[in-house]
Structure 1
Amino acid sequence: MGTIKAQKVSAIEHEASEGYSKRFTDSSASLTIQMAALQNAQKMGNKEDEAICSAYLALTHKRLLHLKEFTKYAERSYDIASSIKSNRAKAFSNTAMGYLKSYTDDKTQALTFFLEAYALFNTMQSYDQSAKLGADISYLFSPDSPDKVKKYADEGLSFAEKSGNPESILHARLAVGSYLSDLIAAGENNRWQEAVSFFKQTIDFIEKNETKIDSKSNIGIAYINLAALYMNGPKPIDENSFLSALEKAVVIGKQYGIKGVYRSSMGLRGQYYVSKGEYRTAENLFKEGIAYQQSLPYKDNYLLAAFYECLKNIAAEEKDYKAYFEYDASFIKYNKLKYDESTQQILQNTDAKYESEKKIARIKQLEQENKLQKKNQLLGYGISAVLLIGLVFMYRSYYFRQRYHQKREDFLQQQQTNNKLKMELLEKETLENLAEKLSLERRLLQSQMDPHFIFNALGNIQGMILRKDTDLAVLYLGKFAKLSRRVLEQSRMETVTLEEETLTLKNYIELQQLRLNQSFDYHIQCNDSVDQQLPIPPLLIQPFVENAIEHGLKPLEVFQKGILFITFEEKPVENLLICTIKDNGIGLTASRRQKTDDSHRSLSTKITDERLLLMLKDNSQAKLEVRELTIDKDGQQGCMVTLSIPIL
């Protein structure tokens, strides 16, 4: 099988992707380009591209914190992808839904969607998408499942390196770095140097590829994580490297308006100076951060509350209670605003989560109703078909029954003149009906009994009837019916006892003796050590007995008396029952010369071969041996079949 090639990206998807890449530098242009791509997909009626464009728009609105639009486009993408057969559309829509569930703190559902998208992107060899998802899945498993955190982080980095996409590589490297930082926080301090080296390599990678990386926040996070490692590492810390990393993070936070990066970098610097006892430096740093935040058109209440809390703690350390109360008043103000924002965000997330779950539940309900409707439709067709077949059979039964009664009436009218002839004809009719019934059973058992034997047996019965040899015909017919019933019963069983199989063989051979005018004798012998209740496959030996009679004994000259020997011997060590079928017939070579139609092959023999092959799979000692016997001093020859049957 050839390798699976990555799926080609359409022009519309490429346009949406280009717009998505501008979400950090120009959000207005990003949305405009993506909306144009979505409209093009809708105009062309391309559902796959429409689902993918909707997914990109959902993720862009996530970046802009527009929860309502984020939810709308994520759910639209999922609805469209669910209605078409496109793995690519399903991968993007599951990704959007995963981020939506993660945004509303529904980790379980987020993992379900992410893992589905991850598997689909892996199948399509979309390495850049697989890399980002692998990293984000590892974050969701943290800190509960360290093994899975490491697994998906490593897989994400492997996929990222295959893609060659700088943004995907940085995203995946941050996930691996986060895993290493978690290990150090858990007490594995011996891995600190490994983590620092890894982040330094990440910084080198950033400096070489910064213009190709769209997610500037990830660049700032890399610097902050390196600084945090220095802060929590061996003392004394490398102050120059620590402050250099934080300075670069501050520049990125200010340049791109990334509040989280700016907040974390300023907080780390302040904590460092406080830990050194340089309160004035720390105080000036926090005041500088507050002044910068006050100058912006938006207020980061979380950051302002954190800075005022730090100033309050410094004042407490210096026992400057006046300053403490001033800072505390501002802290209470911004902390309340922060709490209000947080509460509002939680409520919005809860509403979005509820609406999303309600919609998904409704979709599943509609899918179930659709499946049920299809099942009911198929059931209706089935019932109609059964009724139609029943009507056809009722009509045929009525038609043939009418014909039967008409013929019977004509028949009885013709026999009224002669009672003796009437009785003979009625007797003949009864025997013919029995023969017809057995012929029907013969058709049902055609896979167990050779058709030639059945036709010959029925022919003999017909001949006896015509010769008015009623007693012999009834005897023959009774044996034939008994054999047919036994074969039918045993054909439905998985095993029969050796005793039952022997009785079936005796019945069959005696019927053949009647048919062939007692032209041969038979002997069935079981060693004393053989358990008569051994379970064996039913109707396994009869086809070989039939071959011995039909092709070995039947062609003998009239003056030659045929003899058939059947012996059973048990080998407990090998867990085998050995059955030997030996005759003094004309032998294999002469039998082949007499065949005029070599293309015919007994169905029963074919089935027996298949059964032996199945036994051979379960027991390597199961086998069949056919050997021609050489002419002895008395001019006798024949054939010997040896069956090694596994004891069940």
Structure 2
Amino acid sequence: MAAEGYAKRFSDTVSSINIQKKALALAQKNKNKGDEVICYAYLALTQRRLLHLKEFMHYADTAFYLSQNVNKIRVKAHAYTAMGCLKSYIDDKPQALNYLLEAYTLFSKANANDQCAKIASDISYLFSPASPEKVEKYAKEAMIHAQKSGDPESELYARLAMGGFLTDNLDANGMEEWLKALHFFVETVSLAEKNADKIVSKSNIGIAYLNLADLYTKGPKPIDEKAFLLNLEKATAIAKKYNIKIIYRSAIGLKGFYLTQKGDYAKAELLFIEGINYQKSLPYTDNYLFAAFYKSLKDVAIKRKDYQAYYGYDTLFDKYTQLKYKESTQSQLQNADARYESAKKAERIKQLEFEKELEQKNKLLGYGIAGVLLIGLVFMFRSYHYRQRYYQNREDFLQQEQANNELKMQLMEKETIENLAARLSLERRLLRSQMDPHFIFNALGNIQSMILQKDTLPAVSYLNKFAKLTRQVLEQSRKETISLDEEISTLKNYIELQQLRLNNGFDYVIECDENVETDVLIPPLLIQPFIENAVEHGLKPQENSVRGLIEIYFKEDETQQSLICTIKDNGIGLAASRKLKINDTHQSLSTTITDERLSKMQRENPNAGFTVTERDGETDGNGCIVIINIPILI
């Protein structure tokens, strides 16, 4: 009955929950703890589908802790699955892997191939992208279990995991690999359509359509437009029918991006507006989707050079971006609270076990005393004396353990809150430090001057650069990682605005070694503070007769998994700059914060850091050299 109710989670949510609760009530009435655990596990996974974290956590925790008193493999496997899914939902990936690997082992012992296929697929996703070998290993194992089970839903789970591995390792220049992946995805979609009535997880059908459509964009040009659009239409229909927001958002976004790249801006704009209007007709608000669609509309307006429309879209984009950021922050706090509560419950269970043990020992003490009374008063007194002292010591020990556990929980709570507060504080300081007020006011002043002098085209060009830089800084300051391409784009915008500010009094060069891949991931906004220092303290005080130059070079240190960034300027140098700083009001807060960020990274990347040295005036000319060792994040 519980499985039947769980199968209705996409088609009829209310009926799904009601059936599962009836199954739970029946299990409790029959006093069958095994069935009760499985019912709680199904209810937990249903709440995950509804995005109800509090209920999800309650049912998963209940299933897990009840299962500790049940010696049945399948029962424990369901409980570990629910806990693994919960840990994955709250971004506790290490714990999620621990629970799901245990569930996988238990279901393998029970020969439950359908469950093994689904769990192996989830494990494969959790190992991505850190361990491609394990991603492939568990994706292949999922395929083997799915074939043994003969269950179409399990087979679709497994094929999606294997498809993800094929896509991640797809060589853009390898036509043979692309054709192999295409054939695999076409078979996957065919399986989903053929067995649509038997596949309960409708979101997986939508994902299959999306994956196939996205693969067409990675193939030879021109792409098979008919097949591409057909799969997107099918994915959109699934998303609307079963209220799957992420699939709807991805389908509209992928189609709009294609139309924009194709140059069909009018259709792209109508598509995004249609998506926005559809979302507004629903009873809930998806701020993430609105922000994504308005960003796409901004890009279309720029392509069409419709700056009035761009302004309107940008205003709405900022509104929903702020709302999205608030939701994201709230979600992170909720996940942090959930991780803490889960750990707290585990400690509480240990305390209850200690108390239960203490109570049992005290009972045994009473039985011992009664037995001694039967033998004789003398032996009773002697035995009671020694036993009482032993159990008293044991009780003191257990009470001390309980006190230690309570102190440990308090320290965990304090540490969680302090770490979160420190991180948010550093993010706020980083965001404030990236946009120097002097730089902003001077840039806007120069743009205003151009407008007053009727230099409309240069003014619009620099205004776009300034707007793009501001948006890049705001967006990147909220990310954990960005690509080297994004970092270089931000640097170019910043330097070109600094050139405007200093009347084009200096040049710049940005170069990468041949072995540097520009899609590597690095921490955001690390390099700009050093460029700011080079301009403010090196080039700006330079004599007018000397043409300034900033050179930026990137090379990769494969042995240390790091990116070496070298910044050279031909300014006045460190010694002369220090003399001028006595009367200088410009405070380089950003480099101090950058030093703090790199210091924190040294826990996992000991080589992270930077050095600033004077150039050799005789052989290399005046100026400074900054070498930054940036960890490459996987």
5 Å matches for 1:374-453?
A: none
2:36 alignment partner, SS class: helix
5 Å matches for 1:107-126?
A: 107-126=93-112
Residue 234, structure 1, aligned to residue 220, structure 2:
yes
1:212 alignment partner, SS class: coil
Residue in structure 1 matched with residue 168 of structure 2 by the alignment = 182
Give 1:293 shift: 1.1
Provide the rounded CA distance (Å) in 1 between the counterparts of 2:276 and 2:165: 33
Give 1:369 shift: 7.2
Amino acid at match of 2:317: F
Amino acid at match of 1:58: A
Select the residue among 13, 16, 19 that pairs with 1:33.
19
Give 1:52 shift: 0.6
Q: Which runs of 5+ in 1 are unaligned?
A: 1-14, 393-648
The alpha-carbon distance between structure 1 residues 291 and 196, as it changes in their structure 2 partners (threshold 3 A), is same
Residue in structure 2 matched with residue 405 of structure 1 by the alignment = none
Amino acid at match of 2:96: A
TM-score, normalising length: structure 2: 0.56
Bigger Rg over Cα: 1
Provide the rounded CA distance (Å) in 2 between the counterparts of 1:79 and 1:307: 44
Select the residue among 299, 302, 305 that pairs with 2:288.
302
5 Å matches for 1:144-223?
A: 144-184=130-170, 190-223=176-209
Residue in structure 1 matched with residue 277 of structure 2 by the alignment = 291
Residue in structure 2 matched with residue 604 of structure 1 by the alignment = none
Give 1:379 shift: 13
Amino acid at match of 2:120: G
Residue in structure 2 matched with residue 271 of structure 1 by the alignment = 257
Give 1:365 shift: 5.1
The alpha-carbon distance between structure 1 residues 234 and 370, as it changes in their structure 2 partners (threshold 3 A), is farther
Amino acid at match of 2:311: F
Residue in structure 1 matched with residue 314 of structure 2 by the alignment = 328
- Range with greater deviation from structure 2 (107-116 or 190-199): 190-199
Give 1:23 shift: 0.4
Provide the rounded CA distance (Å) in 2 between the counterparts of 1:294 and 1:104: 28
Q: Which runs of 5+ in 2 are unaligned?
A: 380-634
2:169 alignment partner, SS class: helix
The alpha-carbon distance between structure 1 residues 93 and 187, as it changes in their structure 2 partners (threshold 3 A), is farther
Residue in structure 2 matched with residue 421 of structure 1 by the alignment = none
Residue-by-residue CA offset, 1:608-643 (whole Å, 9 max, x unaligned): xxxxxxxxxxxxxxxxxxxxxxxxxxxxxxxxxxxx
Residue-by-residue CA offset, 1:472-523 (whole Å, 9 max, x unaligned): xxxxxxxxxxxxxxxxxxxxxxxxxxxxxxxxxxxxxxxxxxxxxxxxxxxx
Provide the rounded CA distance (Å) in 2 between the counterparts of 1:201 and 1:350: 41
Residue-by-residue CA offset, 1:141-188 (whole Å, 9 max, x unaligned): 011111111111111111112111111111111001011011116886
Is the contact between residue 7 and residue 200 of structure 2 (CA under 8 Å) also seen in structure 1?
yes
5 Å matches for 1:292-371?
A: 292-364=278-350, 366-367=352-353
Aligned residue pairs total 373
Give 1:373 shift: 9.2
Residue in structure 1 matched with residue 609 of structure 2 by the alignment = none
Residue 80, structure 1, aligned to residue 101, structure 2:
no
Residue 49, structure 1, aligned to residue 68, structure 2:
no
Give 1:319 shift: 2.1
TM-score, normalising length: structure 1: 0.55
The share of aligned pairs that are identical, in percent, is 58
Residue in structure 2 matched with residue 99 of structure 1 by the alignment = 85
Is the contact between residue 81 and residue 103 of structure 2 (CA under 8 Å) also seen in structure 1?
yes
5 Å matches for 1:134-145?
A: 134-145=120-131
Residue-by-residue CA offset, 1:211-259 (whole Å, 9 max, x unaligned): 1111111001000001111112222211111111111111111111111
The alpha-carbon distance between structure 1 residues 142 and 369, as it changes in their structure 2 partners (threshold 3 A), is farther
Provide the rounded CA distance (Å) in 2 between the counterparts of 1:135 and 1:376: 49
The alpha-carbon distance between structure 1 residues 231 and 30, as it changes in their structure 2 partners (threshold 3 A), is same
Amino acid at match of 1:267: G
5 Å matches for 1:470-489?
A: none
Residue in structure 2 matched with residue 132 of structure 1 by the alignment = 118
RMSD: 2.6
1:235 alignment partner, SS class: coil
Is the contact between residue 171 and residue 177 of structure 2 (CA under 8 Å) also seen in structure 1?
no
2:9 alignment partner, SS class: coil
Provide the rounded CA distance (Å) in 2 between the counterparts of 1:368 and 1:200: 57
Give 1:317 shift: 2.2
Amino acid at match of 1:220: G
Give 1:362 shift: 2.9
The alpha-carbon distance between structure 1 residues 378 and 153, as it changes in their structure 2 partners (threshold 3 A), is farther
1:299 alignment partner, SS class: coil
Residue in structure 1 matched with residue 605 of structure 2 by the alignment = none
- Range with greater deviation from structure 2 (231-240 or 22-31): 231-240
The alpha-carbon distance between structure 1 residues 188 and 367, as it changes in their structure 2 partners (threshold 3 A), is farther
Provide the rounded CA distance (Å) in 2 between the counterparts of 1:194 and 1:330: 43
